[in-house]
Structure 1
Amino acid sequence: MTEQAVNQESVIGFIGTGIMGASMAGHLLEAGYRVNVYNRTKSRADGLVTKGAVWNESPKAVAEQSDIILTMLGYPADVEEVYLGESGLLRQARPNAVLIDMTTSSPSLAKRLELEALSKGLRVLDAPVSGGDVGAKEARLSIMVGGAAETFEAVLPLFERMGKNIVHQGGAGSGQFTKMCNQIAIASNMIGVSEALAYAKRSGLDPNKVLKSIETGAAGSWSLSNLGPRIIKGDFAPGFYVKHFIKDIKIAIESAEEMGLTLPGLALARSLYEQAIEQGNENNGTQALYKVIFKEE
Protein backbone atom coordinates (compact mmCIF):
# COMPACT_ATOMS: atom_id res chain seq x y z
CA MET A 1 0.00 0.00 0.00
CA THR A 2 1.54 3.30 -1.08
CA GLU A 3 1.61 6.00 1.56
CA GLN A 4 0.82 9.52 0.35
CA ALA A 5 1.81 12.41 2.59
CA VAL A 6 -0.86 14.84 3.68
CA ASN A 7 -0.86 18.12 1.76
CA GLN A 8 -2.99 21.28 1.57
CA GLU A 9 -5.30 19.57 -0.92
CA SER A 10 -6.11 16.81 1.56
CA VAL A 11 -9.66 16.94 2.92
CA ILE A 12 -9.75 16.36 6.66
CA GLY A 13 -12.67 14.93 8.61
CA PHE A 14 -12.98 15.54 12.34
CA ILE A 15 -15.54 13.70 14.46
CA GLY A 16 -15.94 14.72 18.10
CA THR A 17 -15.67 18.47 18.70
CA GLY A 18 -15.91 18.63 22.47
CA ILE A 19 -13.65 20.39 24.98
CA MET A 20 -10.45 19.24 23.28
CA GLY A 21 -11.62 18.22 19.82
CA ALA A 22 -12.93 21.68 18.93
CA SER A 23 -9.53 23.24 19.57
CA MET A 24 -7.70 20.50 17.71
CA ALA A 25 -9.93 20.81 14.66
CA GLY A 26 -9.60 24.58 14.87
CA HIS A 27 -5.82 24.37 14.47
CA LEU A 28 -6.26 22.35 11.28
CA LEU A 29 -8.63 24.99 9.94
CA GLU A 30 -6.15 27.72 10.79
CA ALA A 31 -3.48 25.78 8.88
CA GLY A 32 -5.59 26.07 5.73
CA TYR A 33 -7.05 22.59 5.48
CA ARG A 34 -10.63 21.97 4.42
CA VAL A 35 -12.23 20.35 7.45
CA ASN A 36 -15.48 18.37 7.56
CA VAL A 37 -16.91 18.14 11.09
CA TYR A 38 -19.52 16.11 12.93
CA ASN A 39 -20.51 16.00 16.59
CA ARG A 40 -23.50 14.37 18.26
CA THR A 41 -24.40 17.76 19.77
CA LYS A 42 -24.33 20.04 16.74
CA SER A 43 -24.00 23.25 18.76
CA ARG A 44 -20.52 22.18 19.88
CA ALA A 45 -19.38 22.45 16.27
CA ASP A 46 -20.97 25.84 15.61
CA GLY A 47 -17.79 27.77 16.38
CA LEU A 48 -15.82 25.69 13.89
CA VAL A 49 -18.49 26.11 11.21
CA THR A 50 -18.34 29.86 11.75
CA LYS A 51 -14.60 29.67 11.08
CA GLY A 52 -15.08 27.75 7.84
CA ALA A 53 -15.51 24.09 8.72
CA VAL A 54 -18.13 22.15 6.76
CA TRP A 55 -20.88 20.60 8.88
CA ASN A 56 -21.81 16.99 8.08
CA GLU A 57 -24.95 15.25 9.30
CA SER A 58 -23.28 11.94 10.22
CA PRO A 59 -19.95 10.14 10.52
CA LYS A 60 -20.88 8.38 7.27
CA ALA A 61 -21.08 11.74 5.48
CA VAL A 62 -17.67 12.73 6.88
CA ALA A 63 -16.17 9.44 5.70
CA GLU A 64 -17.55 9.78 2.20
CA GLN A 65 -16.03 13.25 1.75
CA SER A 66 -12.69 13.07 3.57
CA ASP A 67 -9.23 11.72 2.82
CA ILE A 68 -8.07 11.63 6.44
CA ILE A 69 -10.48 11.27 9.36
CA LEU A 70 -9.65 12.07 12.98
CA THR A 71 -11.90 11.03 15.86
CA MET A 72 -11.93 12.39 19.41
CA LEU A 73 -14.71 10.53 21.19
CA GLY A 74 -15.70 9.74 24.76
CA TYR A 75 -15.62 5.99 25.37
CA PRO A 76 -14.41 2.78 23.71
CA ALA A 77 -18.06 1.94 22.99
CA ASP A 78 -18.31 5.18 20.99
CA VAL A 79 -15.17 4.27 19.04
CA GLU A 80 -16.54 0.82 18.28
CA GLU A 81 -19.84 2.25 17.07
CA VAL A 82 -18.30 5.00 14.93
CA TYR A 83 -15.72 2.72 13.32
CA LEU A 84 -17.39 -0.68 13.22
CA GLY A 85 -21.13 0.04 13.16
CA GLU A 86 -23.35 -0.55 10.15
CA SER A 87 -22.64 2.96 8.88
CA GLY A 88 -19.19 3.05 10.47
CA LEU A 89 -16.07 4.65 9.13
CA LEU A 90 -14.46 1.36 8.12
CA ARG A 91 -17.45 0.61 5.89
CA GLN A 92 -17.84 4.10 4.44
CA ALA A 93 -14.33 5.51 4.11
CA ARG A 94 -12.79 6.29 0.73
CA PRO A 95 -10.23 3.83 -0.66
CA ASN A 96 -6.78 4.37 0.91
CA ALA A 97 -8.20 6.74 3.54
CA VAL A 98 -6.32 7.21 6.79
CA LEU A 99 -8.32 6.95 10.02
CA ILE A 100 -6.78 8.35 13.21
CA ASP A 101 -8.46 7.64 16.54
CA MET A 102 -7.29 10.18 19.11
CA THR A 103 -9.72 8.99 21.78
CA THR A 104 -8.23 7.43 24.89
CA SER A 105 -9.51 3.92 24.31
CA SER A 106 -8.73 0.23 24.69
CA PRO A 107 -5.41 -1.09 23.30
CA SER A 108 -7.15 -4.30 22.23
CA LEU A 109 -9.77 -2.31 20.32
CA ALA A 110 -7.01 -0.35 18.58
CA LYS A 111 -5.47 -3.62 17.40
CA ARG A 112 -8.87 -4.82 16.19
CA LEU A 113 -9.42 -1.60 14.24
CA GLU A 114 -6.12 -2.03 12.42
CA LEU A 115 -6.95 -5.59 11.38
CA GLU A 116 -10.36 -4.51 10.11
CA ALA A 117 -8.86 -1.51 8.29
CA LEU A 118 -6.17 -3.54 6.55
CA SER A 119 -8.76 -6.02 5.33
CA LYS A 120 -10.52 -3.13 3.59
CA GLY A 121 -7.43 -1.44 2.15
CA LEU A 122 -7.51 1.36 4.72
CA ARG A 123 -4.94 2.65 7.20
CA VAL A 124 -5.55 3.37 10.86
CA LEU A 125 -3.55 4.86 13.74
CA ASP A 126 -4.28 5.07 17.45
CA ALA A 127 -3.07 8.46 18.64
CA PRO A 128 -4.35 9.43 22.09
CA VAL A 129 -3.21 12.73 23.55
CA SER A 130 -2.28 14.33 26.86
CA GLY A 131 -2.25 17.99 27.85
CA GLY A 132 -5.87 18.75 28.67
CA ASP A 133 -7.94 21.65 27.45
CA VAL A 134 -5.03 24.08 27.74
CA GLY A 135 -2.70 21.87 25.71
CA ALA A 136 -5.38 21.51 23.05
CA LYS A 137 -6.01 25.26 22.87
CA GLU A 138 -2.31 26.08 22.68
CA ALA A 139 -1.48 23.27 20.20
CA ARG A 140 1.08 21.73 22.52
CA LEU A 141 -0.44 18.34 23.18
CA SER A 142 1.64 15.24 23.72
CA ILE A 143 0.56 12.77 21.03
CA MET A 144 1.31 9.06 21.44
CA VAL A 145 0.95 7.12 18.22
CA GLY A 146 0.55 3.43 17.42
CA GLY A 147 0.37 1.89 13.96
CA ALA A 148 2.46 1.61 10.81
CA ALA A 149 5.50 3.90 10.75
CA GLU A 150 4.86 4.83 7.12
CA THR A 151 1.34 6.00 7.91
CA PHE A 152 2.61 7.98 10.90
CA GLU A 153 5.17 9.78 8.73
CA ALA A 154 2.53 10.53 6.09
CA VAL A 155 0.21 12.34 8.49
CA LEU A 156 2.85 13.86 10.78
CA PRO A 157 2.12 17.40 9.49
CA LEU A 158 -1.38 17.14 10.99
CA PHE A 159 -0.05 16.04 14.36
CA GLU A 160 2.42 18.93 14.30
CA ARG A 161 -0.50 21.39 14.05
CA MET A 162 -1.98 20.03 17.27
CA GLY A 163 0.95 19.04 19.45
CA LYS A 164 4.60 19.54 20.32
CA ASN A 165 5.68 16.17 21.73
CA ILE A 166 4.80 13.62 19.05
CA VAL A 167 6.20 10.10 19.38
CA HIS A 168 5.57 7.01 17.28
CA GLN A 169 5.49 4.30 19.95
CA GLY A 170 5.24 1.19 17.77
CA GLY A 171 2.58 -1.02 16.25
CA ALA A 172 -1.19 -0.87 16.63
CA GLY A 173 -2.26 -0.35 20.24
CA SER A 174 1.08 1.14 21.29
CA GLY A 175 -0.36 4.63 21.48
CA GLN A 176 -3.14 3.44 23.77
CA PHE A 177 -0.75 1.45 25.97
CA THR A 178 1.41 4.58 26.31
CA LYS A 179 -1.62 6.69 27.20
CA MET A 180 -2.45 4.18 29.93
CA CYS A 181 1.06 4.71 31.34
CA ASN A 182 0.30 8.44 31.33
CA GLN A 183 -3.04 7.97 33.11
CA ILE A 184 -1.54 5.61 35.70
CA ALA A 185 1.09 8.23 36.58
CA ILE A 186 -1.51 11.02 36.74
CA ALA A 187 -3.92 9.02 38.91
CA SER A 188 -1.54 8.60 41.84
CA ASN A 189 -0.08 12.06 41.31
CA MET A 190 -3.51 13.67 41.64
CA ILE A 191 -3.90 11.99 45.02
CA GLY A 192 -0.59 13.55 46.10
CA VAL A 193 -1.51 17.00 44.72
CA SER A 194 -4.90 16.93 46.45
CA GLU A 195 -3.47 15.71 49.76
CA ALA A 196 -0.62 18.27 49.71
CA LEU A 197 -2.99 21.20 49.15
CA ALA A 198 -5.47 19.88 51.73
CA TYR A 199 -2.61 19.61 54.23
CA ALA A 200 -1.43 23.13 53.41
CA LYS A 201 -4.89 24.59 53.95
CA ARG A 202 -5.60 22.69 57.17
CA SER A 203 -2.23 23.72 58.64
CA GLY A 204 -3.03 27.40 58.09
CA LEU A 205 -0.52 28.02 55.32
CA ASP A 206 -1.23 30.13 52.26
CA PRO A 207 -1.68 27.44 49.55
CA ASN A 208 -0.47 29.84 46.84
CA LYS A 209 2.81 30.38 48.66
CA VAL A 210 3.16 26.66 49.26
CA LEU A 211 2.61 25.99 45.57
CA LYS A 212 5.25 28.58 44.67
CA SER A 213 7.77 26.77 46.88
CA ILE A 214 7.11 23.18 45.85
CA GLU A 215 6.11 23.21 42.20
CA THR A 216 9.66 23.78 40.91
CA GLY A 217 11.29 21.27 43.25
CA ALA A 218 11.25 17.50 43.47
CA ALA A 219 7.46 17.53 43.97
CA GLY A 220 6.88 19.36 40.70
CA SER A 221 4.49 17.93 38.11
CA TRP A 222 2.15 19.07 35.36
CA SER A 223 -0.83 18.39 37.59
CA LEU A 224 0.61 20.42 40.46
CA SER A 225 1.44 23.43 38.28
CA ASN A 226 -1.67 23.41 36.11
CA LEU A 227 -4.40 21.98 38.31
CA GLY A 228 -3.05 23.10 41.68
CA PRO A 229 -3.98 26.76 41.02
CA ARG A 230 -7.46 25.70 39.94
CA ILE A 231 -7.94 23.74 43.16
CA ILE A 232 -6.84 26.73 45.24
CA LYS A 233 -9.32 28.98 43.41
CA GLY A 234 -12.12 26.45 43.83
CA ASP A 235 -12.27 26.03 40.05
CA PHE A 236 -13.35 22.49 39.27
CA ALA A 237 -14.45 23.09 35.67
CA PRO A 238 -13.31 20.27 33.39
CA GLY A 239 -10.13 20.30 31.40
CA PHE A 240 -10.70 16.56 31.44
CA TYR A 241 -13.86 15.06 32.88
CA VAL A 242 -13.85 12.86 35.98
CA LYS A 243 -16.25 10.50 34.17
CA HIS A 244 -13.74 10.06 31.35
CA PHE A 245 -10.81 9.64 33.73
CA ILE A 246 -12.54 6.84 35.64
CA LYS A 247 -13.11 5.21 32.25
CA ASP A 248 -9.38 5.41 31.54
CA ILE A 249 -8.52 3.99 34.97
CA LYS A 250 -10.80 1.00 34.33
CA ILE A 251 -9.17 0.38 30.93
CA ALA A 252 -5.71 0.49 32.53
CA ILE A 253 -6.68 -1.89 35.34
CA GLU A 254 -8.28 -4.34 32.91
CA SER A 255 -5.30 -4.34 30.55
CA ALA A 256 -2.90 -4.71 33.52
CA GLU A 257 -4.88 -7.72 34.74
CA GLU A 258 -4.62 -9.25 31.27
CA MET A 259 -0.84 -8.95 31.62
CA GLY A 260 -0.84 -10.39 35.15
CA LEU A 261 0.12 -7.05 36.69
CA THR A 262 -1.30 -5.61 39.93
CA LEU A 263 -1.40 -1.81 40.31
CA PRO A 264 -2.33 -0.98 43.92
CA GLY A 265 -1.89 2.78 43.54
CA LEU A 266 -4.24 2.83 40.58
CA ALA A 267 -6.78 0.73 42.49
CA LEU A 268 -6.74 3.32 45.29
CA ALA A 269 -7.19 6.15 42.78
CA ARG A 270 -10.14 4.30 41.26
CA SER A 271 -11.87 4.02 44.63
CA LEU A 272 -11.35 7.72 45.35
CA TYR A 273 -12.59 8.83 41.94
CA GLU A 274 -15.62 6.61 42.36
CA GLN A 275 -16.31 8.57 45.56
CA ALA A 276 -15.96 11.78 43.56
CA ILE A 277 -18.61 10.53 41.16
CA GLU A 278 -20.87 9.57 44.07
CA GLN A 279 -20.54 13.18 45.25
CA GLY A 280 -21.82 14.38 41.86
CA ASN A 281 -18.48 15.38 40.30
CA GLU A 282 -18.64 13.26 37.13
CA ASN A 283 -18.77 16.37 34.92
CA ASN A 284 -16.10 18.26 36.86
CA GLY A 285 -12.38 18.15 36.08
CA THR A 286 -10.02 15.58 37.54
CA GLN A 287 -8.93 18.15 40.16
CA ALA A 288 -12.30 17.53 41.83
CA LEU A 289 -10.55 14.67 43.63
CA TYR A 290 -9.60 17.39 46.12
CA LYS A 291 -13.23 17.48 47.25
CA VAL A 292 -12.94 13.87 48.36
CA ILE A 293 -9.68 14.47 50.20
CA PHE A 294 -10.48 17.79 51.88
CA LYS A 295 -13.62 18.17 53.91
CA GLU A 296 -14.36 21.41 55.71
CA GLU A 297 -14.46 21.14 59.50
Structure 2
Amino acid sequence: MKINLVRNGIFPITQTASGEETVPSTGYDFPGTLQGEGKLVGLPVLFIRTSGCNLRCTWTTPFGDVSICDTPYASHHTDEIEAWETKDIVSTVKANIGEIRHIVISGGEPTIQPLPLTDLARRLKKELDVHITVETNGVLFIPELVTYIDLFSISPKLSSSEPDKEKNRALEVPVDENYIRDHRKFRRNTDALQKYINACMNLGSYYGDMPGAGAERKYSKDFQLKFVITREEDLAEIKRDFLAHLSFVNNDDVVLMPVGATPDLLAKTTDLAARLAIQNGFRFTPRLQIDLYGDTAGT
Protein backbone atom coordinates (compact mmCIF):
# COMPACT_ATOMS: atom_id res chain seq x y z
CA MET A 1 0.00 0.00 0.00
CA LYS A 2 1.37 3.42 -0.96
CA ILE A 3 1.39 6.65 1.03
CA ASN A 4 2.40 10.09 -0.21
CA LEU A 5 5.40 11.63 1.54
CA VAL A 6 7.24 14.86 0.94
CA ARG A 7 10.59 14.61 -0.82
CA ASN A 8 13.12 13.04 1.56
CA GLY A 9 10.16 12.34 3.82
CA ILE A 10 11.96 9.90 6.13
CA PHE A 11 14.53 11.83 8.13
CA PRO A 12 17.17 12.39 9.31
CA ILE A 13 18.77 9.27 7.85
CA THR A 14 22.18 8.15 6.63
CA GLN A 15 21.01 5.29 4.42
CA THR A 16 18.33 5.54 1.74
CA ALA A 17 15.84 2.86 0.75
CA SER A 18 18.21 1.74 -2.02
CA GLY A 19 21.11 1.41 0.42
CA GLU A 20 22.92 4.55 -0.68
CA GLU A 21 24.61 6.74 1.91
CA THR A 22 23.21 10.22 2.50
CA VAL A 23 24.08 13.14 4.78
CA PRO A 24 21.36 14.17 7.26
CA SER A 25 20.19 17.79 7.24
CA THR A 26 21.14 18.00 10.91
CA GLY A 27 24.79 17.98 9.86
CA TYR A 28 25.50 14.95 12.04
CA ASP A 29 27.10 11.79 10.67
CA PHE A 30 24.40 9.61 12.22
CA PRO A 31 20.63 9.32 11.78
CA GLY A 32 18.01 10.81 14.07
CA THR A 33 17.07 14.11 15.61
CA LEU A 34 15.35 15.34 18.77
CA GLN A 35 11.62 15.75 19.16
CA GLY A 36 11.32 19.51 19.22
CA GLU A 37 7.84 20.06 20.65
CA GLY A 38 5.43 18.90 23.32
CA LYS A 39 5.50 16.29 26.05
CA LEU A 40 8.35 14.30 24.50
CA VAL A 41 10.59 17.25 23.68
CA GLY A 42 14.24 16.25 23.66
CA LEU A 43 13.75 12.55 22.94
CA PRO A 44 15.66 11.02 20.00
CA VAL A 45 13.29 10.33 17.09
CA LEU A 46 13.02 9.59 13.40
CA PHE A 47 10.39 11.48 11.42
CA ILE A 48 8.11 10.35 8.62
CA ARG A 49 6.51 13.37 6.95
CA THR A 50 3.43 12.88 4.79
CA SER A 51 2.43 15.26 2.03
CA GLY A 52 -0.79 17.25 1.83
CA CYS A 53 -2.98 19.04 4.35
CA ASN A 54 -6.67 19.87 4.72
CA LEU A 55 -5.94 23.30 6.27
CA ARG A 56 -3.90 26.35 5.22
CA CYS A 57 -2.66 27.94 8.44
CA THR A 58 -1.53 31.54 8.18
CA TRP A 59 -0.84 33.73 11.22
CA THR A 60 -0.24 37.43 11.75
CA THR A 61 1.70 38.35 14.88
CA PRO A 62 1.20 41.52 16.93
CA PHE A 63 4.52 42.64 15.41
CA GLY A 64 3.07 42.55 11.89
CA ASP A 65 4.85 39.37 10.78
CA VAL A 66 2.88 36.97 8.58
CA SER A 67 3.83 33.34 9.18
CA ILE A 68 2.60 30.21 7.46
CA CYS A 69 3.13 26.77 8.98
CA ASP A 70 6.71 25.68 9.56
CA THR A 71 6.44 22.92 6.92
CA PRO A 72 4.85 24.70 3.94
CA TYR A 73 6.35 22.15 1.54
CA ALA A 74 4.03 19.57 3.16
CA SER A 75 0.90 21.72 3.16
CA HIS A 76 0.80 24.98 1.21
CA HIS A 77 3.23 24.04 -1.57
CA THR A 78 3.13 20.28 -2.18
CA ASP A 79 5.14 20.37 -5.39
CA GLU A 80 7.39 17.40 -4.73
CA ILE A 81 5.53 14.27 -3.66
CA GLU A 82 7.01 10.80 -3.34
CA ALA A 83 4.69 7.79 -3.26
CA TRP A 84 6.16 5.14 -0.96
CA GLU A 85 5.15 1.58 -0.28
CA THR A 86 4.58 1.36 3.46
CA LYS A 87 6.77 -1.73 3.67
CA ASP A 88 9.66 0.21 2.12
CA ILE A 89 9.24 2.99 4.68
CA VAL A 90 9.52 0.43 7.47
CA SER A 91 12.64 -1.05 5.87
CA THR A 92 14.23 2.39 5.63
CA VAL A 93 13.38 3.18 9.24
CA LYS A 94 14.81 -0.17 10.31
CA ALA A 95 18.10 0.57 8.51
CA ASN A 96 18.46 3.90 10.33
CA ILE A 97 16.84 3.45 13.71
CA GLY A 98 19.85 2.38 15.77
CA GLU A 99 19.04 2.98 19.45
CA ILE A 100 16.08 5.25 18.67
CA ARG A 101 12.74 3.94 19.95
CA HIS A 102 10.41 6.78 18.95
CA ILE A 103 8.92 7.41 15.51
CA VAL A 104 6.94 10.55 14.66
CA ILE A 105 4.48 10.54 11.77
CA SER A 106 3.79 14.13 10.84
CA GLY A 107 2.74 16.24 7.90
CA GLY A 108 1.07 18.14 6.40
CA GLU A 109 -1.84 16.21 7.82
CA PRO A 110 -1.31 12.43 7.98
CA THR A 111 -4.98 11.57 8.56
CA ILE A 112 -6.05 12.65 5.07
CA GLN A 113 -4.49 9.34 3.97
CA PRO A 114 -6.31 7.09 6.47
CA LEU A 115 -5.79 3.64 4.97
CA PRO A 116 -2.06 3.84 4.17
CA LEU A 117 -1.44 5.74 7.42
CA THR A 118 -3.03 2.94 9.42
CA ASP A 119 -1.11 0.32 7.45
CA LEU A 120 2.15 2.17 8.06
CA ALA A 121 1.52 2.48 11.80
CA ARG A 122 0.55 -1.19 12.00
CA ARG A 123 3.74 -2.28 10.25
CA LEU A 124 5.95 -0.03 12.39
CA LYS A 125 4.41 -1.35 15.58
CA LYS A 126 4.43 -5.01 14.51
CA GLU A 127 7.89 -5.14 12.94
CA LEU A 128 9.86 -2.65 15.05
CA ASP A 129 7.83 -2.36 18.28
CA VAL A 130 8.49 1.38 18.49
CA HIS A 131 6.67 4.19 20.25
CA ILE A 132 4.62 6.04 17.61
CA THR A 133 3.50 9.65 17.76
CA VAL A 134 1.09 10.92 15.15
CA GLU A 135 0.90 14.68 14.73
CA THR A 136 -2.52 15.88 13.57
CA ASN A 137 -4.71 18.96 13.54
CA GLY A 138 -7.52 16.87 15.01
CA VAL A 139 -10.04 17.58 12.27
CA LEU A 140 -10.37 13.90 11.27
CA PHE A 141 -10.65 10.93 13.63
CA ILE A 142 -9.46 7.58 12.25
CA PRO A 143 -10.74 4.80 14.56
CA GLU A 144 -8.70 2.04 12.92
CA LEU A 145 -5.51 4.00 13.66
CA VAL A 146 -6.06 4.17 17.41
CA THR A 147 -4.68 0.79 18.41
CA TYR A 148 -1.22 1.49 16.93
CA ILE A 149 -0.57 5.02 18.25
CA ASP A 150 1.06 5.80 21.60
CA LEU A 151 0.83 9.61 21.57
CA PHE A 152 -1.76 11.66 19.73
CA SER A 153 -0.08 15.04 19.31
CA ILE A 154 -3.06 17.18 18.37
CA SER A 155 -2.67 20.79 17.29
CA PRO A 156 -6.16 22.30 17.09
CA LYS A 157 -6.20 25.48 15.09
CA LEU A 158 -7.42 28.76 16.56
CA SER A 159 -9.13 31.55 14.64
CA SER A 160 -5.77 33.33 14.45
CA SER A 161 -4.66 30.63 11.98
CA GLU A 162 -7.33 31.47 9.42
CA PRO A 163 -6.01 32.66 6.06
CA ASP A 164 -7.61 35.77 4.59
CA LYS A 165 -7.11 38.21 1.74
CA GLU A 166 -5.01 40.59 3.82
CA LYS A 167 -2.62 37.85 4.92
CA ASN A 168 -2.61 36.53 1.36
CA ARG A 169 -1.12 39.76 0.06
CA ALA A 170 1.95 39.17 2.21
CA LEU A 171 2.50 35.62 0.95
CA GLU A 172 4.69 34.68 -1.97
CA VAL A 173 2.12 32.08 -3.03
CA PRO A 174 -1.43 33.12 -2.00
CA VAL A 175 -3.88 30.68 -0.46
CA ASP A 176 -6.68 29.58 -2.77
CA GLU A 177 -10.05 31.04 -1.80
CA ASN A 178 -11.58 27.57 -1.50
CA TYR A 179 -9.01 26.71 1.16
CA ILE A 180 -9.76 29.97 2.97
CA ARG A 181 -13.43 28.97 3.15
CA ASP A 182 -12.75 25.37 4.13
CA HIS A 183 -10.18 26.29 6.78
CA ARG A 184 -12.72 28.47 8.57
CA LYS A 185 -15.41 25.83 8.28
CA PHE A 186 -13.49 22.73 9.36
CA ARG A 187 -10.57 23.82 11.59
CA ARG A 188 -12.43 23.17 14.88
CA ASN A 189 -13.92 19.70 15.41
CA THR A 190 -14.33 19.09 19.12
CA ASP A 191 -16.18 15.82 18.46
CA ALA A 192 -13.07 14.39 16.78
CA LEU A 193 -10.83 15.80 19.52
CA GLN A 194 -12.95 14.13 22.19
CA LYS A 195 -12.73 10.79 20.40
CA TYR A 196 -8.93 10.97 20.37
CA ILE A 197 -9.00 11.78 24.08
CA ASN A 198 -11.47 8.99 24.82
CA ALA A 199 -9.21 6.50 23.05
CA CYS A 200 -6.57 7.29 25.68
CA MET A 201 -8.89 6.51 28.59
CA ASN A 202 -9.65 3.16 30.18
CA LEU A 203 -13.16 2.04 29.23
CA GLY A 204 -12.98 4.22 26.13
CA SER A 205 -13.43 2.05 23.07
CA TYR A 206 -11.44 1.47 19.92
CA TYR A 207 -13.85 3.86 18.24
CA GLY A 208 -13.37 6.67 20.74
CA ASP A 209 -16.69 6.24 22.54
CA MET A 210 -17.10 8.20 25.77
CA PRO A 211 -15.74 6.29 28.80
CA GLY A 212 -17.33 6.40 32.22
CA ALA A 213 -16.96 9.41 34.48
CA GLY A 214 -14.40 7.67 36.69
CA ALA A 215 -12.17 6.52 33.87
CA GLU A 216 -8.41 6.93 34.19
CA ARG A 217 -5.73 7.48 31.58
CA LYS A 218 -4.36 4.36 29.92
CA TYR A 219 -0.73 3.66 30.68
CA SER A 220 -0.04 2.88 27.03
CA LYS A 221 -1.65 5.91 25.35
CA ASP A 222 -1.48 9.65 25.78
CA PHE A 223 -2.50 12.85 24.04
CA GLN A 224 -1.60 16.51 24.03
CA LEU A 225 -3.48 19.55 22.78
CA LYS A 226 -0.81 21.80 21.32
CA PHE A 227 -1.97 25.32 20.51
CA VAL A 228 0.02 27.85 18.49
CA ILE A 229 0.02 31.18 20.34
CA THR A 230 0.13 34.50 18.51
CA ARG A 231 -1.79 36.90 20.76
CA GLU A 232 -3.20 37.37 24.27
CA GLU A 233 -6.75 36.65 23.10
CA ASP A 234 -5.79 33.11 22.10
CA LEU A 235 -5.98 32.00 25.73
CA ALA A 236 -9.66 32.93 26.12
CA GLU A 237 -10.46 31.19 22.83
CA ILE A 238 -8.69 28.00 23.94
CA LYS A 239 -10.76 27.89 27.10
CA ARG A 240 -14.08 28.96 25.55
CA ASP A 241 -14.08 27.14 22.21
CA PHE A 242 -12.08 24.03 23.07
CA LEU A 243 -11.52 23.14 26.71
CA ALA A 244 -15.09 24.00 27.75
CA HIS A 245 -16.33 21.34 25.33
CA LEU A 246 -13.86 18.56 26.19
CA SER A 247 -13.70 16.01 29.01
CA PHE A 248 -10.70 14.29 30.64
CA VAL A 249 -8.24 17.09 29.80
CA ASN A 250 -5.71 18.00 32.50
CA ASN A 251 -3.75 21.24 32.53
CA ASP A 252 -0.54 19.43 31.62
CA ASP A 253 -2.23 18.03 28.50
CA VAL A 254 -2.54 21.59 27.18
CA VAL A 255 0.63 22.78 25.47
CA LEU A 256 1.25 26.38 24.41
CA MET A 257 3.73 26.89 21.59
CA PRO A 258 4.92 30.22 20.16
CA VAL A 259 4.18 30.95 16.53
CA GLY A 260 7.16 31.12 14.22
CA ALA A 261 9.10 29.13 11.67
CA THR A 262 12.35 31.09 12.01
CA PRO A 263 14.65 31.93 14.93
CA ASP A 264 14.05 35.65 14.42
CA LEU A 265 10.29 35.35 14.71
CA LEU A 266 10.47 32.98 17.68
CA ALA A 267 12.64 35.50 19.48
CA LYS A 268 9.66 37.87 19.34
CA THR A 269 6.87 35.42 20.18
CA THR A 270 8.28 33.02 22.78
CA ASP A 271 7.79 35.29 25.80
CA LEU A 272 4.01 35.53 25.32
CA ALA A 273 3.49 31.77 25.08
CA ALA A 274 5.73 31.17 28.10
CA ARG A 275 3.95 33.80 30.17
CA LEU A 276 0.47 32.47 29.35
CA ALA A 277 1.56 28.92 30.16
CA ILE A 278 2.86 29.92 33.60
CA GLN A 279 -0.18 32.04 34.44
CA ASN A 280 -2.64 29.28 33.52
CA GLY A 281 -0.81 26.15 34.66
CA PHE A 282 -0.37 24.82 31.13
CA ARG A 283 2.73 23.36 29.51
CA PHE A 284 5.03 25.52 27.46
CA THR A 285 6.93 24.01 24.59
CA PRO A 286 9.78 25.48 22.59
CA ARG A 287 10.36 24.69 18.95
CA LEU A 288 13.65 22.98 19.70
CA GLN A 289 14.25 21.98 16.10
CA ILE A 290 14.33 25.65 15.09
CA ASP A 291 16.54 26.55 18.05
CA LEU A 292 19.02 23.85 17.02
CA TYR A 293 18.85 23.81 13.23
CA GLY A 294 17.04 26.98 12.16
CA ASP A 295 14.38 26.61 9.49
CA THR A 296 16.24 23.79 7.71
CA ALA A 297 13.88 21.14 6.33
CA GLY A 298 14.51 17.55 7.33
CA THR A 299 15.64 18.20 10.90
TM (norm. structure 2) is 0.30
Larger strand proportion of the pair: 2
Please tell me whether Structure 1 or Structure 2 has the larger radius of gyration of its CA atoms. Answer: 1
Higher relative contact order, structure no. (Cα contacts within 8 Å, ≥ 6 residues apart): 2
